[in-house]
Structure 1
Amino acid sequence: MKKNCLYFCFLLILFLNGVSTLAGQNIVNGDFENAQFQLLTPFRQVIPGGDGVIGWSVESGNIDYIGSYWTPSSGNRSIDLNGSESGSISQSFATQIGKEYYIKFDFAGNPVCDSPLEKVLEVSVGSTREVYLFNTSARSINDLGWEPRVFTFTAVAAVSSVRFLSKNGGFCGPAIDNVELVDCAGVREGQSIKDECGECLEPTDINFNRICLDCYGVINGDAIVDDCGVCLPPSAPDFNNCLDCAGAINGSSIIDQCGQCVDSLAANFNECLDCAGIPFGESFFNECGQCYTPGIPINAGECDNRKLIYIPTSFSPNGDGINDEFKFFEGVGRVAEVLTYEIYNRWGGKVYIAANFDIASSVEWWDGTSGNSKLEEGVYIYVSQIAFASGAVLSYSGGVHLVR
């Protein structure tokens, strides 16, 4: 009997202190609609130890309990964390040790005071802290511009306490409303969690904890796409070491729409004329130095032994079965073999490679992906060596525009 009393007394204490569980409760009075007093004025100052907002404790300073003074995020009540000075409020709730939690809230600032215009809010649970900023320069009490925010922490105790603290002094502080526990997808009382692959999914989802592939397609590999757009392990010496197409570290030269490595501020950037003087035309100089337009015969003359191929300037891997791969085509002669075929992004990172295949192959040509991930639209560089039936081996390079 004594044990039962202790148990129920403990539950009562948790309830009186505003403790909630995720099983149907969430944060107590997270919309601040209920107080221990009747609000008869546009706002009322609340201090520690006095009549307060149900479920919440004023820990330091003082706050303003807002009614008709401004438009709340929803409902009829909200909080200004500065009454006449910096204030803070807190609430405790039950947690599972080691579990990740997400606290969603609406954030704004009291725009009445001239300074400071930037409101600074600190949210913390134990040693986990995050600071949020809100600028009130374009706001009014009729339009606070409420914005949603999410604070994330991992529980280290069976009961955790969240605290909202103003980092501004004086009057007119950060404003908060609609505090609630959500899942990683932002859904109140939702069931989604992060799986072993770092994806936010419900445990019943068919993709939950499926084999995790890195950008190279390696099972549980650690390679990621770095700031240079290159798929590399973070431990690689070249990770985030971005060379532009001219080989300069963090240089400004990029591959323009013409497939040329040019400084983005240069006068000839994106001035694409083919050898016939036609903007974005298909004519190009062949191995003999002749301006060749696909489909129009030319007098090869002494170049008969150097067989032509046609290399498109763009392709569109959209799955319609037309021009979905970046393929080369035979011209007036027969290609024996594609010896090498390499694709690079504009920073010089290799995104695709194939070798020793027939030009008529349907599987070796680049389809606009790298490591099972679709690459962004833009110009990429190709470098290739082609062996002809005559025995000649010729090199080709240039730019191709990937169009989504």
Structure 2
Amino acid sequence: MRPLHLSAAALLLAAAPASAGTHGTTHTTPGDIAGGGFETPAVPAPPLFATYLGGQAAGPWAAGGHSVDLTSGRLWDAAEGSQSLDLNGSTSGSVSQTLPTHPLTSYVVSFGLAGNPAWAPALKTGELRVDGVPVRTFSFDVTGHGFRNRGYARQTAVFSSLPKNSATLTFASTSPGPGGPVIDGVRVRSCPLALCPPAS
């Protein structure tokens, strides 16, 4: 567990097997996340993916860095639904979303992690940030995985923003080149401060 200097938060990252679930939802209560399944906007056929440059909106997410690719199931399988997000477009990018939060409440963030197998390096790396602070790295080795054998690994994080009523969640690639870490099925749920168990 590592303290966040800007948000007085703590983050713990763990891996567990991927599992299917519901798509992202709109904000209804603090901690909700919109578009966690990356199903909107839909990538129209025949393209296999849509590229969003830093500064553009990719549905409810704000793209950052250079670019990201919203990828359809015509190219590879998603962890859930039919679309996922490659954090590298032409090179490393990011996506961010600001969540409403309650003070003295912890939040469990979980997401499916894989990688783009079409480009080197085999080890795809990235960072999960809260309020712009790099709090933990994640990685996925695409060796032995392909477009239909994705091997998504479920990642889980817990953060607490003690004095604030919002938090900005960012997934950022630290891999070079046009193929990076791939994320899907992002979910957030709340629990009492310091009592959050890892998400299942």
TM-score in same-fold range (> 0.5): yes
Structure 2 unaligned runs (5+)?
1-24
- Matched position secondary structure for 1:79: strand
The alpha carbon displacement at 1:84 in A equals 0.9
Moved over 6 A (4+): none
Q: Residues 251-305 of structure 1, C-alpha deviation per residue, up to 9 Å, x if partnerless?
A: xxxxxxxxxxxxxxxxxxxxxxxxxxxxxxxxxxxxxxxxxxxxxxxxxxxxxxx
Which structure: greater strand fraction? 2
Larger Rg: 1
Q: Does 1:161 align with 2:161?
A: no
Q: Residues 152-207 of structure 1, C-alpha deviation per residue, up to 9 Å, x if partnerless?
A: 21114211110000000111100000111134xxxxxxxx5467xx585xxxxxxx
Q: Residues 312-343 of structure 1, C-alpha deviation per residue, up to 9 Å, x if partnerless?
A: xxxxxxxxxxxxxxxxxxxxxxxxxxxxxxxx
Is the CA contact 1:19–1:92 (under 8 Å) kept in the aligned structure 2? no
2-structure distance, mates of 1:199, 1:161 = 19
The alpha carbon displacement at 1:132 in A equals 0.8
2-structure distance, mates of 1:194, 1:88 = 28
Q: Residues 26-82 of structure 1, C-alpha deviation per residue, up to 9 Å, x if partnerless?
A: 2101101011874541112111344x4211000221011100110100111100000
Structure 1 unaligned runs (5+)?
1-17, 184-191, 201-404
Match of 1:116 among 117, 121, 146: 121
Is the CA contact 1:36–1:54 (under 8 Å) kept in the aligned structure 2? no
1:65-214 matched pairs, under 5 angstroms: 65-67=70-72, 68-113=74-119, 115-126=120-131, 127=133, 129-155=135-161, 156-183=163-190, 193=192, 200=197
RMSD between superposed Cα atoms in Å: 2.3
The alpha carbon displacement at 1:146 in A equals 0.5
Is the CA contact 1:125–1:163 (under 8 Å) kept in the aligned structure 2? yes
Q: Does 1:59 align with 2:64?
A: yes
Which structure: greater helix fraction? 1
- Which structure ranks higher in relative contact order (CA pairs < 8 Å, sequence separation ≥ 6)? 2
The amino acid across from 1:100 in the alignment is S
Cα separation, partners in 2 of 1:62 and 1:199, compared to 1, 3 Å: closer
- Matched position secondary structure for 1:130: strand
The amino acid across from 2:103 in the alignment is I
Query: How many matched pairs?
Result: 170
- Matched position secondary structure for 1:72: coil
1-structure distance, mates of 2:138, 2:187 = 17
The alpha carbon displacement at 1:116 in A equals 1.1
The amino acid across from 1:165 in the alignment is A
1-structure distance, mates of 2:36, 2:107 = 16
1-structure distance, mates of 2:38, 2:49 = 13
Percentage identity across aligned positions?
Answer: 26
Cα separation, partners in 2 of 1:129 and 1:54, compared to 1, 3 Å: same
Cα separation, partners in 2 of 1:42 and 1:182, compared to 1, 3 Å: same
